Structure 1
Amino acid sequence: MAEPKRPSKNRGFYVRMRLLHNKNGRPQERSLFYRYYKWVIWFSLSLYLFGSYFVTNNNPQNKPTSLSKTHVPNSESTLASRALFESTNATLRQKSTSNSAGFLKNLKIFVYDLPPNYNTNWLSNERCSKHLFASEVAIHRALLTSHVRTFDPYEADFFFVPVYVSCNFSTINGFPAIGHARSLLASAIQLISTEYPFWNRTGGSDHVFVASHDYGACFHAMEEAAIADGIPGFLKTSIILQTFGVNYKHPCQDVENVLIPPYISPESVQTTVENFPVKGRRDIFVFFRGKMEVHPKNVSGRFYSKRVRTVIWRKYSADRRFYLKRHRFAGYQSEIARSVFCLCPLGWAPWSPRLVESVALGCVPVIIADGIRLPFPSAVNWTEISLTVAERDVDKLGNILEHVAATNLSTIQHNLWDPKNRQALLFHNRVGKGDATWQVLHELAQKLDKSYNRGSGVSAELDSDT
């Protein structure tokens, strides 16, 4: 009977045993290091990892060490290190700002759900959401989808009251008729103060309204009448988002307010920019299209535009450097996009939609409105992108603009053409980082002392993000 076959040898064990014998086949004595080499390696690796951890975490707030304090052997290494450092930080900044929800995650705004006769019913007239006073519509729409919106009013910092008061257009002249504004707003406040406890607990100090008319919450297009009527008593403790603003004491801004730009359709601007690039050819030196009376009419004891537009027309209508038109033209934005300087004189009120259109389309705005206060100065450096001419100097416009063109025009245009300026002055249906509604939220975050739920975290967080 054959002997059973033995299992084959373990080759790994066999090789290890061969290594332990010398050429004479006698076992060698293991050295001390050989016996404990695994322990030495383990100890060295542990010491290295522990040291790395200590160095990394010993840096306060886990910030990268300063490149200026790091020894770098040559310039190429310096550039490489700096590039890596800046690339890493750029990535982190992009991640922290890419989501518009993150920049104000602690700010909470409750939007009242009012009956449609206060707002959306007015949208049956398409013009309601597109004319120069339509910021009341745009801000409402943007807040409805914004991450700062809360459906829990008890956690809200502010309360937005969406009442559209500029959508009732006169059948006589087609302009907004705002005579109903006071009664409509009073009715809305009566409703929310009856159904909710939030108005009564603060007297409305944390409630936000939009008054995008000539003289803001005075709700009148004529200054004398606006001042005589004043701001309604029921709004005097609230926060008003308004287009009217001057840098001196005025009864129509004697209320907590945020100065906002007039509404210009971002879609119309985008279409114009696509056809007439901001840095394209500009064949018009000075442009203005709008109301200019040859013989100004005295209305309620006051001349329109304080006669500024009349002086412009009389002196420069025959000047070949000036492209002045008194009649409306649907495609006038294309004229702005072709112009170097765009005149922005006051009308009945100091502000004008031409301010926004000029900036958005890359035409240097020439502001002629003494004492005007301009929107969002923390985002738009007006002194670097525009010119200001005193009303009394309007007859010197030609010489003033020729001088600028010969000296620092290119610098002004370089500053003006930064896309951030356009972004900051345009309202969109959704809040975008840096856009006009974003700027409104930025301003509200500085007014948390008006809120019943006061907090200090939002303002600080926003400042660090910007």
Structure 2
Amino acid sequence: MDEKGEIMYGMNCWWRGIGWSWCACRWRGSSSATKLFIFMLPLILVAAFASVKPSTTVCRWGFNIPTCSFSLPPPPPPHPHPSNSSLQSNETETVNIVSKPWLNSSAPVNESYEPQPSPRQWQKKKRKVSNLDRTEAVLAQARSAIRDARNENQTQDSDYVPAGPMYWNAKTFHRSYLEMEKQFKVFVYEEGEPPIFHNGPCKSIYSMEGNFIHAIEMNEQFRTRDPEKAHVFFLPFSVVMMVRFVYERDSRDFGPIKKTVTDYINLIADRYPYWNRSHGADHFMLACHDWGPETSLSLPYLRKNSIRALCNANTSEGFEAAKDVSFPEINLQTGSIEGFLGGPSASRRSILAFFAGGVHGPIRPVLLEHWENKEEDMEVHKYLPKSVSYYGMLRRSKFCLCPSGYEVASPRVVEAIYTGCVPVLISDHYVPPFSDVLNWKTFSVELSVKDIPRLKDILISISPRQGRHQYAAKCKSDIFNCLRAKSFKCVGNFTTLELCKRLRKDDDGPELDYKVSYVPDSLFLD
């Protein structure tokens, strides 16, 4: 078994979690969930790396160093003025003699001459090339490769080439992924003890927190133990575990959680130079709990500068599409997706639209008011009878309704795609996962709350020629193919519906309402 195969084999523990307890792993067995989540790790890293915020005082990727590109040296300086005391030294005469050829036209033409660099040039010449400079030079080469990929018809990757309207720009996305595989490194701070740090739930609606923490800490391809080689730095705390072990139940007091995060960042800032170097701009956190955004308010730089991978990607609560990462919410009740994938074609589905769930938040009551038990082919319920299979209903439905609850995110989005159902996103402030890579309009329906009364008419008006059913089915089929494939890259690229983001700037698709001015068009592009 090769190295990647061993990683796939070993990561099976992520899907065999033990609920709220630590996700202790056993190196045994294999599952489709293992292979699927292995790709989630690098694409989260793509999103995190591509989200590093630029500024006028740091280079493109947030590193606090001088300009990341070098220009040609300036022209020779004019003859120094006699009153310039800074040049009146024992070397003044030598400097003047050397400078005569460009000031005195009568100088012999056969006289050899090499102008001495100015003090500023000497400073540049003597400047030691740092590790960050070397990193930026490598990234510049990657940027060039991604630009060239836009016009290429073929790729050097023989395993898989993403294609189709589901991607805003499949070629640049693919090249970004390949460049990431070759170069991208993340440093995980080792400070902190479980259960708050280096730990998270592997089951439940918040399972992606624990799965990602364990994935990044076990992955030797992207994780580096040398912080000088890192592109980004991961803060390995779990908001879910802090809510359980630090927060006082029903107190509504976020103080203990914020203090825990503040103390941790102060600790790493005291031990390492990297947080202070970029003011947190090359650091990232991940949270699937609803209180993830609130937790990021613990420190101003954590909220303002750092990359936040959030399931609760709510623009009305400060989510920034240019900096943050919308992370998919997946409810792994058993820690596995075995038996989760698959469903018949749209022509064999008898239900037009389906929803079942609690009356949470402001949107679902409106949905139930208009459509609960109103139409035979509109299966809208609060809760299903125990004798009715929830996933069976998903597989029988053409459209699966995904209204926001207390917060904007819903695991129904991923559940719909897994079962080949077209997700209908009903929200006013939700940024779907990785919208800068995926053209969600090609395989989903995006509606606002005001569209709920016309829901059935809207869904009926969507012609099969528009391809949403076909593309949703293709997503499902692609996942199946990847789970059977041995290729790490194949698994990775096909699951972009879960964990990939912001590889687009000047795309060919329509402008998105939530898109802001700065969105890199790929991982390494300017």
TM, length-normalised to structure 2: 0.53
**In the alignment, what sits opposite 1:116?**
193
Aligned counterpart in structure 1 of residue 308 of structure 2, from 212, 226, 240: 240
From 255, 258, 269, the equivalent of 1:193 is 269
Percent identity of the aligned residues? 24
1:244-259 matched pairs, under 5 angstroms:
244-246=312-314, 250-253=317-320, 256-259=323-326
| Corresponding letter in the other structure for 2:433 | P
Q: How does 1:257-276 map to 2 (within 5 A)?
A: 257-265=324-332, 268-273=336-341, 276=343
Q: Which residue of 1 aligns with 2:120?
A: none
The correspondence for 1:287, drawn from 354, 365, 378, is: 354
Partner residue, 2:492: 433
| Matched-pair contact (CA < 8 Å) for 1:264–1:356 | no
Aligned to 1:93: 158
Residues 215-234 of structure 1 correspond to what in structure 2 (within 5 A)?
Answer: 216-219=292-295, 232-234=299-301
SS at match of 2:402: strand
For 2:473, the equivalent position in structure 1 comes to 417
Q: Tell me which residue corresponds to 1:160.
A: 234
Higher helix share: 1
* Correspondence for 2:370: 315
Cα 1:392–1:422 shift into 2, 3 Å: farther
C-alpha contact 1:211 1:242 (8 A) present in aligned 2:
yes
What residue in structure 1 maps to residue 440 of structure 2?
382
Is 277-286 or 196-205 further displaced after alignment? 277-286
- Give the greater-gyration-radius structure (CA): 1
- TM value normalised by structure 1: 0.59
Contact 1:344 / 1:354 at 8 angstroms: preserved in 2? yes
Counterpart CA distance in 1 for 2:496 and 2:468 is 26
Query: Given the superposition, is the C-alpha separation of residues 114 and 400 from structure 1 closer, same or farther in structure 2, using an over 3 Å criterion?
Result: same
What does 1:351-370 align with in structure 2 at a 5 Å threshold? Answer: 351-370=409-428
- Helix, strand or coil for the counterpart of 1:335? helix
The answer to whether the Cα contact below 8 Å between 1:282 and 1:338 also exists between their aligned partners in 2 is yes
RMSD: 4.4
Deviation at 1:401, TM superposition (A): 2.1
- Seen in structure 2, the aligned counterparts of structure 1 residues 442 and 250 have a Cα distance that, compared at 3 Å, is closer
Q: What CA distance in whole angstroms lies between the structure 2 residues aligned with 1:110 and 1:310?
A: 44
Over residues 172-206 of structure 1, what are the superposed CA-to-partner deviations in whole Å (9 max), with x where a residue is unaligned? Answer: xx99x994532332232122223322222222221
Aligned mates of 2:221, 2:275 — CA distance in 1: 23
Question: Against the structure 1 CA distance between its residues 153 and 417, is the aligned structure 2 distance closer, same or farther, given a 3 Å change threshold?
Answer: same
The CA distance in 2 between the partners of 1:421 and 1:233, in whole Å, is: 44
> CA 1:444–1:216 in 2, change beyond 3 Å: closer, same or farther?
farther
Tell me the equivalent position of 1:150.
Answer: 224
Contact 2:422 2:468 in 1 (8 A): yes
Cα pair 1:118 1:162 within 8 Å, conserved: no
Q: 1:309 corresponds to which letter in structure 2?
A: R
Q: Identify which of 335, 338, 341 aligns with 2:399.
A: 341
SS in 1 for 2:433: coil
Identify unmatched segments of 5+ residues in structure 1: 1-85, 220-228, 293-303, 447-457
Deviation at 1:315, TM superposition (A): 2.8
Shift in Å, 1:385:
0.9
Looking at structure 1, the residues matched to 322 and 307 of structure 2 have their Cα atoms a distance apart, in angstroms, of: 7
Contact 1:287 1:339 in 2 (8 A): yes
Aligned equivalents of 1:337, 1:354: Cα separation in 2: 13
Q: Distance in 1 between matches of 2:351 and 2:220?
A: 41
Structure 2 letter corresponding to 1:204: G
- The alpha-carbon distance between structure 1 residues 445 and 368, as it changes in their structure 2 partners (threshold 3 A), is closer
* Contact kept? 2:503, 2:522, Cα under 8 Å: no
Counterparts in 2 of 1:147 and 1:284: CA distance versus 1, 3 Å? same
Cα deviation digits, residues 314-336 of structure 1 (max 9, x gap): 33222212222323769522321
The DSSP-based 3-state class of the residue aligned with 1:256 is coil
Cα distance in structure 2, aligned partners of 1:270 and 1:90? 33
Counterpart residue number, 2:182: 105
Q: Which residue of 2 aligns with 1:408?
A: 464
Distance, in Å, in 2 between the alignment partners of 1:354 and 1:443 is 22
